[in-house]
Amino acid sequence: MIVTMILNGKKITDEIAADMTLFDFVRKHGCYSVKCGCETTNCGLCTVFLDDTPVLSCAMLAARAEGRRVETLEGLQKEAEEFGSFIADQGAEQCGFCNPGMIMNAIALFRENPEPTDEEIKQYLAGNLCRCSGYEGQLRGMHAFIEYKKNGGAACGK
């Protein structure tokens, strides 16, 4: 079957097997930030945006993205770098494996709610697996990023 979608701003048309996942499709097209850690929708490592909504690409058929817009971390470099530096400053990227999914979901959260509470952050990121840091560093990094944004992008203690 032939599928066409916009991947990180570029129109891609490709012949795929009917059972190809969106995860396999984006990886085939060079989006290596997208990882698959569980294949059971429990880790969040495969998160991509489908028309601006975070989805787990390991659980979605590529054919379902026909005619739609898919974004990965590679397509969100400016937002990812800006936020990712706050995570790094808190030592929350020990192995780095969870970072792409965590950053994708954090970007989605901040787009939806620029000033989330701790409970909202925890709820939004509940599906992201991080085995190294216990999430405290990510939470501190998110708070620092929120303050940075409140100050109009001016560094505060950074």
pLDDT tens-digit profile of 106-130?
999 999 999 999 899 988 888 887 7
pLDDT at 158: 45
Domains of the chain (ranges; CATH) run 2-74 (3.10.20.30), 76-150 (1.10.150.120)
Handedness of CA 28, 32, 38, 41 (dihedral sign): negative
Count of other CB atoms within 10 angstroms of residue 40: 10
Map residue 22 onto helix, strand or coil. helix
pLDDT at 154: 65
